[in-house]
Structure 1
Amino acid sequence: MTDTHTRVALVTGGTGGIGRAVVERLAQDGFAVAVHYVGNKVKADETVTAIHAQGGAAISVSGDVADENAMAAAFDAIEQEFGGIDVVVNTAGIMLLAPIATLNLDDLDRMHRTNIRGTFVVSQQAARRLRGGGALVNFSTSVTRLQFPTYGAYAASKGAVEAMTLVLARELRGKDITVNAVAPGPTATPLFLEGKDQATIDNLSKAAPLERIGTPEDIAEAVAFLAGPARWINGQVLYANGGLG
């Protein structure tokens, strides 16, 4: 068991590009961290080992975010190990791109299951279990207001995330728990860079006034702010995109 004063965070999708950066940043900030994964146990365990090597506390937990029983078990494991949960960060998500006219509806269902149902299931557990002074940080996307072609179904799934996030913030009145969403812009992760040629990447890097693509560490900075000192920011969508719309 960790010291009762140690704050505890769960990061879903904790082995992904942004998820891993969030895990590392929260560990640096002194959190005991639960690294959630679905398929890649080796990567999750490597992340945990790296945190231990730096003197931090971490465990790995697994489960389909859309499976309420699996996620209840993951929350149980974290509470058993660390005594409670203070912060939940929902980076788990999938992005499948195609014009609305030609999108395979199976892809729509996959995104609905992970991005909407998965966020709802984890948010539900967080609403029931987060300790006072805690924070839930869900993940949207800046594309909800940038209207990039081929992103229609993905943006729709993230629009649903924003809706449930803002409602939950109001539902948790009186519990001293903040609920916000981070909406990244183009960020240099394997998920985002896959299938894009250098010219496309260069054009995207020039779109924001800061003239670069975001890094996972940029997004982790926003999460750390909401997870830690930002106690007066609640029921908001924070656009972490370098000024891109």
Structure 2
Amino acid sequence: YEFMTVTATDADDPDTDNGIVNYAIVSQEPQLPKPNMFNIDILSGSICVRETGMDREQWPRYTLLIVAADMEGNGLSATGTAVITITDSNDNPPQFEQTSYVVSVPENKVGALVAKLTVTDGDEVGSPAWSTKYWIISGDRDDSFNVSTGPTQLEGIINTVKPLDFEKTEQYVLSVIVENDDSFVGSLPTSTATVTVNVEDVNEPPEFDPKEKLIFKPENSPVDTELVIYTAIDPDTGKTQKIT
């Protein structure tokens, strides 16, 4: 497709060969992946892409030497330079540097840091094709976790958003995917990381069951008369403890 036009002027009569300017590409640097990546319209000076295979990550810029000549290209001439900068497309998917994590998190804490998942991306730094976003796609059955993009834009940070309960769930196995802000060009694989979260048991206080009792006793009851019996339950199931 056409993306730029070069123009040369000639002071001669434009209706004669002396005033009609023709254009040609003399050289291309770098000559990769092919030596003739571009084409120029001989009369209009419009430049278009001729070949496929451009890759910003390998060849981010091309320099074309262009000649403009009258007399149907055989007369007086002048040269000019066209510098072409290749813009980035999202052709490099983000990849987790580590695809498996095993972490331990104490129960009952909201906002606890669970894990930082770092990724790499070969696209232009700072572009939407480089910045990342994250999703927990399975394993968070009670919506206890959140994953957000970290300040480096190349890390996913998982935190707890609800207090974990060791007595209910001792372990979570989260599957996390990473994507770019821009859509992929073509079909690219999505990187996935597995985060195994082991919930740590924390000593919790026993609880009376029930908490309140209403009792009636006659007046003048003897000293040491039993008034009521209270029962306490310890929610900790992973430890052997004595309630006193």
More helix by percentage? 1
TM-score interval, normalised by the smaller of the two chains: under 0.3
More strand by percentage? 2
Q: Which protein, 1 or 2, shows the higher relative CO under an 8 Å CA cutoff with sep ≥ 6?
A: 1
- Using the size of structure 1 for normalisation, the TM-score is 0.24
- Using the size of structure 2 for normalisation, the TM-score is 0.24
